[in-house]
Amino acid sequence: MALNSIDSSSKILPNYLSPAVEIIQAAKTYSDGFEALQPVNLNVNSGDFITLLGPSGCGKSTLLKMISGLTKPSSGEIKLWPSNVCSTNKLDLQSTQNKLSFVFQSPTLMPWADVRTNVRLPLDLAGVPRKTADLEVEEILGTVGLSDFASSLPKALSGGMQMRVSIARGLITKPNLLLMDEPFGALDEITRHKLDSELLGLWSSHKLTIIFVTHSIHEAVFLSSKIIMMASRPGRITQEFLINEPYPRTQAFMVSKDFLEYSQIIQASLLKAST
């Protein structure tokens, strides 16, 4: 087991692979003077599975929303693939063939619409012809194991199945970058572990770059190629940890000595970040 820690609070990491996201001195201070996030420097390479980990209020969700363009940074810039720049101006995603999708903490499904309609929503908004869109929906529902529930309303689904619908809706536009804000946090442990394994399969098969927010150390170690540790008051990056374990990762990894050692090191870093 080898775990490399890099102090990234004051530098940009070298870019060895094709960059998906470059964050350069991006910070967020709200109009009332609250400093949510100190200047952040971070490189995310295409194909990475990056997890943002840290105590509540450390700016994980703020950073994710800044990457997505839902929130503007107060200063600095964010580059995607790598030429689309989000500084104090709105991020322009129309000038690139690359796409991103955002999966929120709750499924945010339309309760009156069936699974098929919920998943098809991004294609409807984009003006994709219904026949083409329905074929795309059928394919992605098969991918997430919901083909038999296409006509079901959200209230008829379990929490885990609702989250699968949300993930399917996130994948329907064939994104390159998937941003996920603690999507499994409200689920029971068994369902959570199952969806974590399924997510790694989707990440690999769809050749995604994923930036994932969680409060779970075990989830972070299981999923990530790199863990970004954040601290609060104000929000900032304190350390980066490379998880040097091969994929695919199975449940056997979660009961291994290496997994325990990773978790202990990350736990110590999280405790330090929380003080």
Q: What pLDDT, in 10s, does the model give residues 235-262?
A: 999 999 999 999 999 989 999 999 999 9
Look at the block and give the residue holding tokens 């083909």: 147
For the chain, what is the domain count? 1
Model pLDDT, residue 270: 94
Model pLDDT, residue 237: 96
Collapsed DSSP state (helix, strand, coil) of residue 38: strand
115 assigned to some structural domain: no
Give the HSE-up count for residue 126: Cα atoms under 13 Å, Cβ half-sphere. 13
CB-count burial class (<10 Å; 0-12, 13-18, 19+) for 56: exposed
161 assigned to some structural domain: no
Which domain, by its residues, includes 213?
3-99+175-273
What tokens appear for 204 in the block? Answer: 């690999």
CATH code, 208: 3.40.50.300
193 assigned to some structural domain: yes
CB-count burial class (<10 Å; 0-12, 13-18, 19+) for 140: buried
157 assigned to some structural domain: no
Model pLDDT, residue 98: 80
Q: What is the mean pLDDT of the chain?
A: 88
Model pLDDT, residue 86: 54
Below-50 pLDDT ranges, the chain: 2, 6-16, 87-96
Cis link prior to 14 (omega < 30° from 0)? no
85 within 8 A of 26, measured Cβ to Cβ = no
215 assigned to some structural domain: yes
CB-count burial class (<10 Å; 0-12, 13-18, 19+) for 144: buried
Tens digits of residue pLDDT in 7-58: 333 333 333 468 899 999 999 999 898 999 999 999 999 999 999 999 998 9
134 assigned to some structural domain: no
233 within 8 A of 35, measured Cβ to Cβ = no
129 assigned to some structural domain: no
Model pLDDT, residue 10: 31
269 assigned to some structural domain: yes
Model pLDDT, residue 81: 86
Model pLDDT, residue 186: 84
